[in-house]
Chain A
Amino acid sequence: QQQVKQSPQSLIVQKGGISIINCAYENTAFDYFPWYQQFPGKGPALLIAIRPDVSEKKEGRFTISFNKSAKQFSLHIMDSQPGDSATYFCAASNQAGTALIFGKGTTLSVSS
């Protein structure tokens, strides 16, 4: 019940295309859902986050869509660029806990 399942494991998208990464969770107590981006040799960095009181959040080319009833959330990267090539992790936590439960990650390659 503490797992966050992420798919796909890897993704290849052409420059200018849309990248979509999906995550699903079981624990209904989760109420904070961030996405982190990690480049090789670097630590993860927060990209965008959402709380379940909204169904969508957009920041620039990055959008989180959240479906509370399905217990799913996804990251959409519009107009994908080669510089977006990285590993993306979804995560979840709740107010009572301080630990982030991460998905296994998606390696995105954007071809030019």
Chain B
Amino acid sequence: KAGVTQTPRYLIKTRGQQVTLSCSPISGHRSVSWYQQTPGQGLQFLFEYFSETQRNKGNFPGRFSGRQFSNSRSEMNVSTLELGDSALYLCASSRRQGPGELFFGEGSRLTVL
């Protein structure tokens, strides 16, 4: 069974640009969550999608957005990139909404110059 797939794995952007990251969940998983991981702040929740609807959102500015498609695949977008957005962005999927085991992908490492 394939795991959570995230693309691209690495990318470099400059300040002011925007970026779109993609996540394909495990087959049959309908919930997709996104987390930002940095050395200073650790793992921080961005948002969760279930059945194409955003169910929960973390404390991040509106520059961070996401969506989920009917096949459960998800994308997140960061607009007007700032240096502080450099991080590992992790996608996680689970069968259902609510607390339970999250299956994480290997992440997309974003560097903003």
Contact = CB atoms under 8 A, between A and B. Distances in A.
Interface stretch (B14-22, B70-78, B96-104): B96-104
A93 B99 contact: yes
B53 to A, nearest CB: 12
Task: Give the dominant DSSP class at B's interface.
Answer: strand
B105 interface: yes
A49 B102 contact: no
Q: Name the residue in B90, B97, B98, B105 with the highest tally of chain A Cβ atoms < 10 Å from its Cβ.
A: B98
Interface residues of B, number: 26
Interface of A: 31-32, 34, 36, 41-46, 49, 89, 91, 93-95, 97-105
17 contacts: A32-B100, A43-B105, A46-B103, A49-B101, A89-B43, A91-B43, A95-B99, A97-B99, A98-B33, A98-B97, A99-B58, A100-B33, A100-B99, A100-B102, A101-B45, A102-B42, A102-B43
Interface of B: 4, 31, 33, 35, 42-45, 48, 50, 55-56, 58, 90, 92, 97-107
